[in-house]
Structure 1
């Protein structure tokens, strides 16, 4: 049934994008100075999870590199690369300049090495940039005239609240590209394009694709995950097409797999917060912070913890119940018990 599994992967970039033409045009215009030797303004891509921010960034930059091969692209996922050292190292690695860099190499030396890679423009995509534990790397990037940032995050207010003054003042004038949730029709069309390339003909019906889009609530990441899970289930059962029973089972299965993967990617301090909430069932912020501080050696500030919690809410891992004074946190769903993907 599955003809090309790559198309069902979350990081697959299609040759043509569906329902994001305005965003593609806006980002392309922002980066256009690179084609004439100029430096574009910083670009910000804002929107909820699963609305195509990363996909569009990769798509536009692939198009740009076809027009100007001298442009090099460094993609940094700040879920994993959340320190100044890791960001600088990732950029150097992407442009082939990370030879002989060790964990003990001073960060200023990494910056100096990056400053000497001026044989062509570099576009640095910092995905999930609000996961950075320190913003010094953003200041580094701004100081280098041949390096241009594309910053991807959920919400502008929360991102800028985490910046120090020097970073905030330098990046404030950047271009904003905003993404809204997909409608059911839009997401169904995206899934139809994926299914046409990934699956054998007649593997999934239009009504099933709409059911997937409706269950995903505008989140393409979830929708593609459901389609992938259903196709793999059907294939394991030796079926020539996705049945309604398989689809019904795949919906919670895919959500569980996505949540589990997201939990596994949490940085240390976020994972402590998550575990405390998990163990408590439901907990007030004061009690949560107190228990967190008891478990870690170097606790973060309350503002940083609020940012961490907000990020986990965006990713549907936890939910905030009630207003500020009476607010509590609890998990969205139990990650145990589902079959998961193989």
Structure 2
């Protein structure tokens, strides 16, 4: 018997719509974010009268609907008016002023950006932006390596609204005063979902993504519990999809509790593999943070030196940034203390199957 004979065929799959289970999928209605969406829309309204709108800093922990709420408003703008052009940029993927100006040019239909000097490219982008009213969304703004692009837009673009999305509510305090004084931004904080809200959001995705009767109640409840514990809808979406893959692997049309447990186990295995793929220098720094989570970066560095770490402080900072960008650790900046700004490091210790 061939190894593929027992697999479900294409017309026997448990999936009805894979796309509905993706992180970037935008449902017709964004549940439990109506007031936040209205606040976002209100910032854009003045642009319908030919004026600049209001700037907004949107904060909240990862996976609680910030990006999808903004993208939904952008969809509505594109459907309802030709007067305003929405531009979305993820600053983790496009993280310098030069790259962001290229991205803006491309989104505005200008593709001849190769071999352009920075000053030339900026002027081209400004000219393009001033032909229209533009609403910008800079997602993961705290990942940008510089913020000159904000100054350029605030100084040179006539009719604009700016949404800055970040996981950190106090991020603005790290901005240069020349930018902050021109930004004059309002704040909108997204609160974490309640467990019932997590249940309803994931239930909608199950209804959209799978055929009727695919998910057994124990399996779905397991996924909801873990998504609520992680405070991240994206975790729930991953578990929904991977649980179904586990069911299909055993040629079943029903997702059982064991499938969801196996999916969660894969999350833990994935993190372990990622750690094993780090070079020895990064592993050593990660172990330092793990043993000293919650301490200031300078304190962790000093402890490392006593343990035999033989690198400069700047090199240590670069390694911390790599680990932060990869999600292994978290960094929290406390501004304006008695010693000035302080950076605290936390090991990103996600729950494992043994914790439940």
Instruction: Tell me whether the two structures share a fold, i.e. TM-score over 0.5.
Output: yes
How is 1:233-312 mapped onto 2 (pairs within 5 angstroms)? Answer: 233-254=246-267, 275-278=283-286, 280=288, 282=291, 285-286=297-298, 289=301, 299=314, 312=324
Change (3 A) 1:334 1:244: closer
Change (3 A) 1:135 1:129: same
For 2:55 and 2:218, the matched residues in 1 are separated by 42
Change (3 A) 1:192 1:72: same
Q: Give per-residue Cα distances to partners, 1:222-253, cap 9 Å, x unaligned.
A: 11111111112212222111101001111242
TM (norm. structure 1) is 0.80
For 2:239 and 2:319, the matched residues in 1 are separated by 32
Which structure 1 residue ranges, 5 or more long, are not aligned? 265-270, 336-342
Change (3 A) 1:272 1:181: farther
2:142 to 104, 110, 130: 130
Equivalence for 2:56 = 43
For 1:148 and 1:141, the matched residues in 2 are separated by 10
CA contact (8 A) 1:47 1:53 kept: yes
How is 1:102-117 mapped onto 2 (pairs within 5 angstroms)? Answer: 102=114, 104-117=115-128
Equivalence for 1:186 = 197
Aligned residues between the structures: 316
1:20 to 23, 28, 33: 33
TM (norm. structure 2) is 0.77
For 1:137 and 1:14, the matched residues in 2 are separated by 31
For 2:54 and 2:175, the matched residues in 1 are separated by 18
Q: Secondary structure at the match of 2:89?
A: strand
Instruction: Find out whether 1:213 has 2:238 as its counterpart.
Output: no
CA contact (8 A) 1:226 1:255 kept: no
Shift, 1:106, TM fit:
2.2
Equivalence for 2:349 = 332
Equivalence for 1:231 = 244
For 1:180 and 1:161, the matched residues in 2 are separated by 20
For 1:60 and 1:162, the matched residues in 2 are separated by 28
How is 1:129-168 mapped onto 2 (pairs within 5 angstroms)? Answer: 129-143=141-155, 144-157=157-170, 159-168=171-180
CA contact (8 A) 2:222 2:257 kept: no
For 2:220 and 2:186, the matched residues in 1 are separated by 35
Equivalence for 1:200 = 211
Which structure 2 residue ranges, 5 or more long, are not aligned? 1-13, 332-338
For 1:25 and 1:262, the matched residues in 2 are separated by 41
Equivalence for 1:56 = 69
CA contact (8 A) 1:233 1:250 kept: yes
Q: Give per-residue Cα distances to partners, 1:67-107, cap 9 Å, x unaligned.
A: 113422222111121111111111111111131x12x5222
Shift, 1:333, TM fit:
5.6
CA-based RMSD of the aligned residues comes to 3.7
CA contact (8 A) 1:222 1:254 kept: no
Equivalence for 1:32 = 45
Q: Which has the larger radius of gyration?
A: 2
